Amino acid sequence: MSKSIVKWLDNIIADVEGVGYQRKSDRRIRMDVASDTLPTLLELLRGRASYVHLSAITCVDWIEDDEFELVYHLWSYENNTLVSAHTRVPRSPGVYLSVYDIYHPAAFFERDIHEMFGLYFEGSPDMERFILTEWDGPPPMRKDFDAEGWVQRKFNFQDYHPEWLKQLEDEGGGVAIRPEEVRAKKRADKP
């Protein structure tokens, strides 16, 4: 498509209500939509504007706003432009609609987001666990999951006690600053 058509699409979509539109650079567009209008927007982009390639679906956990942000990255082979469609879903019911019937690659990403964040997608063909099949903890990518605390509970490290340290401890010295305590304190102090 020539450049003039792309600019024409810019003007049309920027006028639509409910869609926040921002052209970040020559080949990157950002759109913000409400969560109930996103599937319609994706269908329009795929069917009418040739954005046939779903590159990825990302989920970002904004824990202070108590929301998940879902970002759908779409690429058009004709316009050579990437559209990132952002939407926000509340954290507590944790359910959203799947876009599998619009884009088939969405199945993998929705399955991944379900096991990593706990967000369920209705209508996705396969919500079974793929990577974390034998995992019994909370969804690990959430911001309230403390990975280091989990590691301290479940795993042990080598007991590193070389000769020179033993000598120092015999003389009354020893390790003054323990890195794991510093990290634990830094984590506890974080607001």
Inter-residue contact 74 to 42 (CB < 8 Å): yes
Q: Which of positions 61-80 make contact with another protein (CB under 8 A)?
A: 61, 71, 73, 75, 77, 80
- Least distance from another protein to the Cβ atom of residue 164, Å: 18
Which positions from 77 to 96 touch another protein by CB under 8 A, shown as an x/- string?
Answer: x--x-x-x------------
- Report how far apart, in Å, the C-alpha atoms of 104 and of each of 43, 98, 107 are: 13, 10, 6
Residue 59 CB, nearest approach to another protein (Å) = 8
The letter for the amino acid at 169 is E
Helix (H) or strand (E) run with residue 30 in it: strand 28-32
- Residues numbered 125-164 forming contacts with another protein, rule: CB under 8 A: 125-137, 140-141, 145, 147-148, 150-151, 154-158, 160
Per residue, the 3-state secondary structure of 43-83, as one string, reads: HHHHHHCCCCEEEEEEEEEECCCCEEEEEEEEECCCCCCEE
Eight-class DSSP state of 138: S
**Residue 103 backbone dihedrals phi, psi, to 5 degrees:** -125, 120
Compare residues 17 and 33 and give the one whose CB is closer to another protein.
33
Instruction: Examine residue 11 and tell whether it contacts another protein (CB under 8 A).
Output: no
By CB under 8 A, the count of residues binding another protein is: 52
Backbone φ and ψ of 25, nearest 5°: -160, -170
Least distance between another protein and beta carbon 171 (Å): 27
What's the closest the beta carbon of residue 56 comes to another protein, in angstroms?
A: 4
Among 21, 32, 118, 120, binds another protein (CB under 8 A): 120
Query: Smallest distance from the beta carbon of 172 to another protein, in angstroms?
Result: 28
Residue 56's Cβ-count burial label (10 Å; 0-12, 13-18, 19+) is middle
Q: Interface with another protein by CB under 8 A: which residues?
A: 27-28, 52-56, 58-61, 71, 73, 75, 77, 80, 82, 84, 103-105, 107-109, 116, 120, 125-137, 140-141, 145, 147-148, 150-151, 154-158, 160
